[in-house]
A and B are shown apart, each in its own frame.
Chain A
Amino acid sequence: MANSNPIKKSEPDSYPEFEIAAEHSSKELSISTETTLDKEGWNLDIIHSLVVKGKSLNPPGGDLDQIELGTCEDLDGKKMRLVSTLSRIKDTGSNPPPGASYTLTFFVDGEELESYTVKAGGTLDRLFTKIQITIK
Chain B
Amino acid sequence: MNRIYCICIVVLLTTSASGQEISDAIKSLQVNSSPAFIILGVEPENIQRPNSPSEFVANVQSATVNNTLATNFAMETTPYWWGRKDSKRFDVLDYLTSRGKDDYLKKVLQSVTFSFATSPTDSMVIGSLKPGTGLGLGFRMQLFTGHLSAKVERSLASWYQLTRATLLFDNLIGELEGDADIGDLEDWADDQISADPELSKMPEAMQELIKERFLRSVPANPTKTDVPKIRKGVNSFVAKAKKNLVDVNSYRLPLTREGFMLELAGASARIASNLEWNDMVLAKRAFWLTPSYRFNVNEKQDGIDIIDVMAVARWTSNVDLVDPSDYLDAGGKIQYIHERWSLSYEAIYRYATKKPDNVEKSYTYRTGLTFSYKLNDLVTFKVTGGKKFNGNTLEYDEPQRMFIVGGFNFGISKLQNGG
A interacts with B: yes
Which A positions have Cβ atoms within 8 angstroms of B? 11, 15, 33-47, 49-56, 58-63, 65, 78-79, 81, 83, 85-95, 97, 123-124, 126
On whether A54 and B195 interact (CB within 8 A), knowing A39-B415, A87-B245, A90-B255, the answer reads no
The answer for the CA separation of A58 and B167 in the assembled complex, in Å, is: 9
Which B positions have Cβ atoms within 8 angstroms of A? 18-20, 22-23, 85-86, 89-90, 92, 156, 159, 163-164, 166-167, 170-171, 173-175, 177-180, 192, 195-198, 231, 238, 241-242, 245-246, 248-251, 253-255, 377, 413-419
Name the residue of chain A whose CB is nearest to the CB of B419: A63
A51 touching B175 by the CB < 8 A rule? yes
Name the residue of chain B whose CB is nearest to the CB of A56: B171
Complex A-B: 15 CB contacts under 8 Å:
A40-B414, A41-B19, A46-B418, A51-B174, A53-B178, A61-B89, A79-B177, A79-B178, A81-B170, A81-B174, A83-B166, A87-B159, A88-B245, A92-B19, A123-B246
On whether A93 and B242 interact (CB within 8 A), knowing A45-B92, A63-B417, A83-B170, the answer reads no
B178 touching A51 by the CB < 8 A rule? yes
Q: Chain B residues near A91: list those with CB within 8 A.
A: 19, 23, 253, 255
On whether A90 and B20 interact (CB within 8 A), knowing A33-B418, A55-B180, A60-B198, the answer reads no
On whether A54 and B167 interact (CB within 8 A), knowing A45-B90, A91-B255, the answer reads no
Q: Chain A residues near B249: list those with CB within 8 A.
A: 88-90, 95, 97, 123
Q: Chain B residues near A53: list those with CB within 8 A.
A: 178
On whether A124 and B238 interact (CB within 8 A), knowing A51-B174, A56-B192, A65-B85, the answer reads yes
8 Å CB contact of A89 from B86, B255, B418: B255
Q: Chain A residues near B23: list those with CB within 8 A.
A: 91-92
A89 touching B245 by the CB < 8 A rule? yes
Q: Chain A residues near B245: list those with CB within 8 A.
A: 87-89, 123-124
Given A51-B175, A62-B86, 13 new contacts (CB under 8 A): A44-B90, A47-B163, A49-B166, A55-B180, A56-B195, A65-B419, A78-B178, A79-B178, A85-B166, A89-B254, A91-B19, A95-B250, A123-B249
B417 touching A90 by the CB < 8 A rule? no
Name the residue of chain A whose CB is nearest to the CB of B192: A56
Please classify the interface of chain B as helix (H, G, I), strand (E, B), loop, or mixed, using the class held by over half of its residues. Answer: helix
A49 touching B418 by the CB < 8 A rule? no
Count: A-B pairs, CB below 8 Å: 153
The answer for the CA separation of A89 and B19 in the assembled complex, in Å, is: 14
B192 touching A58 by the CB < 8 A rule? yes
The answer for the CA separation of A55 and B167 in the assembled complex, in Å, is: 13
Q: Chain B residues near A35: list those with CB within 8 A.
A: 417-418
The answer for the CA separation of A92 and B170 in the assembled complex, in Å, is: 32
Q: How far is the CB of B245 from chain A (nearest CB, A)?
A: 5
Q: Chain B residues near A41: list those with CB within 8 A.
A: 19-20, 377, 413
The answer for the CA separation of A47 and B255 in the assembled complex, in Å, is: 20
Q: How far is the CB of B72 from chain A (nearest CB, A)?
A: 29
Q: Chain B residues near A43: list those with CB within 8 A.
A: 90, 255, 416
The answer for the CA separation of A83 and B246 in the assembled complex, in Å, is: 21
Of listed A15, A34, A60, residue having the most chain B CB within 10 A: A60
Of listed B18, B85, B163, B418, residue having the most chain A CB within 10 A: B418
Q: How far is the CB of B369 from chain A (nearest CB, A)?
A: 26
Name the residue of chain B whose CB is nearest to the CB of A59: B197
Q: Chain B residues near A87: list those with CB within 8 A.
A: 159, 163, 241, 245
B417 touching A36 by the CB < 8 A rule? yes
Q: How far is the CB of A96 from chain B (nearest CB, A)?
A: 9
Q: How far is the CB of B145 from chain A (nearest CB, A)?
A: 16
